[in-house]
Amino acid sequence: MTQLTVHSRATPAGPVIELTGELDNDSAPDVRALLPRLTLQAGQQLVIDLTGITFCDSSGITVLIAARNHALAARANIALAAVPDRVSRIFHIVGLDQVFPTHPTAQAAETAWSPPTPTP
């Protein structure tokens, strides 16, 4: 078992959460507890970087959906970065590949984000 480490950082596009290790029943509550503490403004984008994920079970997927709900409640977007093949296959099977935009890297997700256009 590889313990999950969680790092977050702020970018102009919005917060980035970097996960390394196993996202499972034991670690998912730690990620869920982080969500309300994120500074996420309307129009920004929450990026979850899965580069270092070695395992993801249904609890991990549930916390990713919770992160999506958190972003939507803030009128922000969410994107996943560097989704491992094994997780990507599961997302495809259950249809979550249609729910989460994905990018090869967190940098690519940040580059793809465009700031909201101010309304007059």
Domain ranges (residues) in the chain = 5-112
Q: Which two tokens stand for residue 93?
A: 């099977």
Query: pTM for this one?
Result: 0.91
Model pLDDT, residue 9: 94
Q: Are 22 and 54 in contact (CB under 8 A)?
A: yes
Model pLDDT, residue 120: 59
Model pLDDT, residue 31: 95
The mean pLDDT values, 10 residues at a time, for the chain of 120 residues are 88 95 95 93 96 93 96 96 92 92 94 72
Model pLDDT, residue 46: 97
What backbone phi and psi angles, to 5 degrees, belong to 65? -65, -40
- Homologous superfamily (CATH) of 5-112 is STAS domain (3.30.750.24)
